[in-house]
Structure 1
Amino acid sequence: MRPEFTFGGAMSHFQNTGGPKGFLLKFALVYAVIGVATQALALWLQWPVYEIYIRAFTEGEGDISLYMDELAAVSMRSNLMGILMLPVSALVWAMFEAASQRRYMRSARFRLTVGADEGRLLVVALIWVAFVIAAYFAFAIGVLIPAVIGGVVFGAAGAVIFGIVAAIAALGTLLWLVARFSPAAALTVRDRHIRFFEAWNVTRGKGWTLFGCYLLMIVISLVSVLIFYGVLFAAGIAVLGQLDGTAPEEMTRALVTPQIIVPAALAGFVAICFQAALMHIFGGPAALAAKRDPAWAGEGGGVVDAFS
């Protein structure tokens, strides 16, 4: 039987995908390892620029103008090398998104591949990029016009109030539209064909439920992030408090000791794991909507309207 689409079921769908156990843990850990490797590669490509800024603060008392000639000589090359990270990052995203959606739509075990699913998801990602660009301009216009009207009619206070109300309404509309098209990746993996606008029909009658799911997920995520970084901030303040009054050279040496670097690196690794877990969890509601699609005959059966 196809699972019912309910608010609670959508929120917890990442726990009810079927398939071998331990998917989320493997997903998060591998994502973090590859994420660290990718960031290390990006740092290495951009290192000539970072090295100049480090010398500016350690040797030049923070005066970057003394190093502008060196910076100009290496920045273009470093920026060109950095552009190489765009396809690498896109491919890494596609690999993990495909693994996540295969879990949801096919109850597959965790595995990373570079194949047809990943290629189709890259096309879906490009459509999302176009959607975001269009939404940016629509948001700007949707906020600017009410703010101008409010300013003309009620003065500066009216412009601020109308602008804030319009911004909230525009953000809500944007989130609702994102919710309506959110099953695009799940449908693409499900049908083994590029799907995007088809998601509109799949989410008919489910839009507000998806909206509520994503809104609650965003709030929970923000609270979790604030708590996590609040703990790190408090720990950082405690460490700096112990070094208060220490000479700058000694403070620098103290901050690069294993006692500081290892916990900081571990905290960063945990943060990336958390980001990876959110990536998979956030896909749950949309994937359940795709599974609950009345036009879908199930794995191996195709779409009823197209093949009946």
Structure 2
Amino acid sequence: MTAFSATDAAFEGFRLTRERPKVVLIWAAFLFLVSVCSAVYLISIGQEARAVLEASAAQQSPDPQVFLSTMRDLLPMMVMGLLVQCVMAAAVYRILLRPDDKGFAYLKIGMDELRLAALTFIYVILACITMVVVVLIAALIAAAASFAGQGPAILVGAATEMFFLGMLFYVGVRLSLAPAMTFAQRRIAIFDSWRLTHGQFWRLTGAYVLAICGIVVIAVLVLTIFSALVAVAVGGDIQAVGKMFSPDQTSLASYFSPVMIAYLLVAGWVYAVYYAVVIAPAAVAYRALSQPAAAADAL
């Protein structure tokens, strides 16, 4: 059975950032500009829309009409966010799967990015449909178990939920090479990853977990160091440090303080490293698993 090294895949993104620091800096600048544009747009939509977002984040129930209006206002930013994610993913795939297709620091907007966006949209629709079906099945099972009493119903409901969550995670890992396949094969590969990842679930899971743990450690370390430096720079004012995480969004001048601009610059670099680290494992796994298959097809 063809396999790949989970540790090599997990740390490929770190190797990429170490060997191509100029590329990562360009990505960081790009993501910084994206953050600035997003902040400007959020401030421009008004206090009412921001209040709806804050209520949703706090799991409160805003007025449905106001919520729908806010979502309509946010649609351009959500589309931009999806496009940015696809541009960054394609850039990482381009380095690992098509290194000669450089572009501007491997950043492009073309059919590769549009195919990735289409694949993401398809998966979101499928995920929503799947969640509705899962909730209905879980509710039916819990209702059937309720005839045995409240205790068994709660136990069966919890076990059913955990089972379906595990199944969704398994399916997600098995289909996780679909974006890399879509990029490499220049076509939307929705379910092709299932065949390619046969027998590779635990290696893929290990690679993803190691990569996520690595970027979390780096993000926490960078944020801690930056917060300490800011605290020293402002004379130990902890409130000034806290404003980075809850900035004043009443105006552009109040939002873009020197501390906030510095924070966005650092965050841009962290996000650039994040994309490299999180996207690279699937590209490495696809490259390792698909080459023997391509050779066999050629025979």
Aligned AA (2:12):
H
Query: Structure 1 residue 83 and structure 2 residue 75: aligned?
Result: yes
Q: Give the C-alpha shift of residue 203 in structure 1.
A: 0.8
| Residue 178 (structure 1) aligns with | 172
Task: Return the letter of the residue paired with 2:11.
Answer: S
Say which SS state the counterpart of residue 199 (structure 2) adopts.
coil
Partner of 2:6: 7
Q: Kindly report which structure 2 residues correspond to 1:133-152, keeping only aligned pairs within 5 A, or say none.
A: 133-141=128-136, 143-152=138-147
Matched, 1:129 2:124: yes
Distance 1:10-1:146 versus aligned 2 partners, 3 A rule: farther
Per-residue displacement from partner, 1:52-72 (whole Å, max 9, x unpaired)?
799xxxxxxxxxxxxxxxxx8
Alpha carbons of structure 1 residues 171 and 141: separation in structure 2 relative to 1, 3 Å: same
Alpha-carbon separation, structure 1, partners of 2:115 and 2:49: 41
* 1-structure distance, mates of 2:93, 2:9: 15
Query: Which structure is richer in relative contact order (CA contacts within 8 A, separation 6 or more)?
Result: 2
Corresponding residue of 1:273: 269
Name the residue aligned to 2:195: 201
Match of 1:57 in 2: none
Structure 1 residues 175 and 274, CA gap change in structure 2 (3 angstroms): farther
Does structure 1 residue 93 correspond to structure 2 residue 91? no
Q: Is the 8 A contact 1:151 1:159 kept in 2?
A: yes
2:283 to 244, 266, 287: 287
Counterpart CA distance in 2 for 1:163 and 1:295 is: 42
Partner of 2:108: 113
Amino acid across the alignment from 1:10: A
Q: Is the 8 A contact 2:96 2:283 kept in 1?
A: yes
**1:249-279: CA deviation from partner (whole Å, max 9, x where unpaired):** xxxxxxx699xx4344433433343233222
Unmatched 5+ stretches in structure 1: 55-71, 243-255, 298-303
Aligned pair in 2 of structure 1 residues 94, 208: CA closer, same or farther (>3 Å)? same
- Kept in 2, the 8 Å contact 1:202–1:289? The answer is no
Q: One-letter code of the match for 1:132?
A: A
Q: Deviations over 1:30-87 (max 9, x none)?
A: 3443333334334434435435799xxxxxxxxxxxxxxxxx8xx95x7655322333
CA distance in 1, matches of 2:263, 2:99: 31
Structure 1 36/272 Cα, relative in aligned 2: closer, same or farther at 3 Å?
closer
When normalised by structure 2's length, the TM-score is 0.68
Q: Which amino acid aligns with 1:89?
A: G
For 2:287 and 2:219, locate their aligned partners in 1 and report how far apart those are by CA, in whole Å: 30
Partner of 2:206: 212
Q: State the alpha-carbon separation in 2 of the partners of residues 7 and 182 from structure 1.
A: 14
Partners of 1:241 and 1:80 in 2: CA distance: 34
1:5 is paired with a residue whose SS is coil
| Structure 2 contact 93–180 (Cα < 8 Å) conserved | yes
Question: Larger deviation: 195-204 or 167-176?
Answer: 167-176
Q: Is the 8 A contact 1:142 1:170 kept in 2?
A: no
| Greater Rg over alpha carbons, structure | 1
User: Shift in Å at residue 90 of structure 1?
Assistant: 2.8
- Write the distance in 2 (CA, Å) between the matches of 1:188 and 1:43: 32
Give the stretch that moved more between structures: 173-182 or 139-148: 139-148
| Contact 1:29-1:273 within 8 A present in 2 as well | yes
Q: In structure 2, what is the Cα distance between the partners aligned to 1:147 and 1:221?
A: 39
Does residue 262 of the first structure (1) align with residue 258 of the second (2)? Answer: yes
Q: Aligned ranges for residues 153-192 of structure 1 at < 5 Å?
A: 153-155=148-150, 157-192=151-186
Give the total of aligned pairs: 262
Q: What's the C-alpha RMSD, in Å, of the aligned pairs?
A: 4.1
Provide TM-score, normalisation by structure 1. 0.66
Cα deviation for residue 190 of structure 1 reads 1.9
Shift, 1:206, TM fit: 0.8
